[in-house]
Amino acid sequence: MSAASKPGSVPELAALYVQRDGIYYGLENVDPWDEERDARLYDGPYPVIAHPPCSRWCMLASVNEARWGAKIGDDGGCFEAALRAVRRWGGVLEHPAYSLAWDRYALPKPTRGLWVRSLWDEGWVTEVSQSAYGHKARKRTWLYLVGEPFDLDWSDPEGEMMIGNGINSGEGTWAPKMDKKAASATPIAFRNTLIELALSARELMLDRHAISEMANDEEVAFKLDARARFASGL
């Protein structure tokens, strides 16, 4: 059990790339991984909620690269590790809408109003607005889920404030800008939804591991039978 989890509790999922002492800390069933723990090192066994850094993948990343030399996608492997964790252990990954990471890793393009997936990827994707869950900016967000999808609040309320220049959220330039900390914050209602999504992966992962164990048992049995036949000269 992580010291950040509620004392005496047993984690059911891990929250990766989260803020120390933030909204995932002190929960009974969540093992939070902040920058100090380095979520890239997470190796199970729980489903995950992944919030990998987005600054090198946002729509202005090319401008930042030209101006400051910050290479697009140069996030130290955070997104790749988050995606790998979701695919291995189940759970959900969230990133800003129109994230350039989606093309880099050939993920299915999300659609608002429903979950979709492709024939070549087990993950479900969708788009939501965090304003529907209490964020003061619209904050359109893409989700990638390895689990059991369920209906979300797919409404798109106008935000009272905007993040950056509102380029990916439609506020335009009329709304006041949010500071970085407030902009990156996750509303409690959205956190709770992400927890439900991550927990939906438990049965799927149990089934997958059971099938894997059965396959391993069958492989072992086949090898033992082949060895016995060889030893007996059959």
Residue 100 dihedral angles phi and psi, to the nearest 5°: -70, -15
Give the model's pLDDT for residue 224: 45
Closest CA to 170 of 137, 148, 198: 137
Higher pLDDT, 99 or 224: 99
| Distance spanning both ends of the chain, measured CA to CA | 52
Is pLDDT at 212 greater than 60 in this prediction?
no
- The average confidence (pLDDT) of the chain is 83
Kindly give, in sequence order, each residue whose CB lies less than 8 Å from that of residue 57, ignoring residues fewer than 6 positions away: 72, 73, 75, 79, 95, 96, 99, 100, 101, 104
Average pLDDT over residues 95-116: 94
Closest CA to 77 of 98, 107, 56, 47: 56
Is pLDDT at 59 greater than 60 in this prediction?
yes
pLDDT-based confidence at residue 206 (cuts at 50, 70, 90): confident
Lowest mean pLDDT among 9-13, 56-60, 149-153, 200-204: 56-60
Domain map of the chain by residue range? 13-199
Give the model's pLDDT for residue 101: 93
**Separation CA 110–CA 144 (nearest Å):** 9
Give the model's pLDDT for residue 5: 60
Q: Give the burial class of 185: count Cβ atoms within 10 A of its Cβ; 0-12 exposed, 13-18 middle, 19 or more buried.
A: buried
**Separation CA 76–CA 94 (nearest Å):** 18
11 close to 31: Cβ distance less than 8 angstroms: yes
Instruction: Say what percent of the chain tops pLDDT 70.
Output: 73
Average pLDDT over residues 119-133: 96
pLDDT-based confidence at residue 204 (cuts at 50, 70, 90): confident
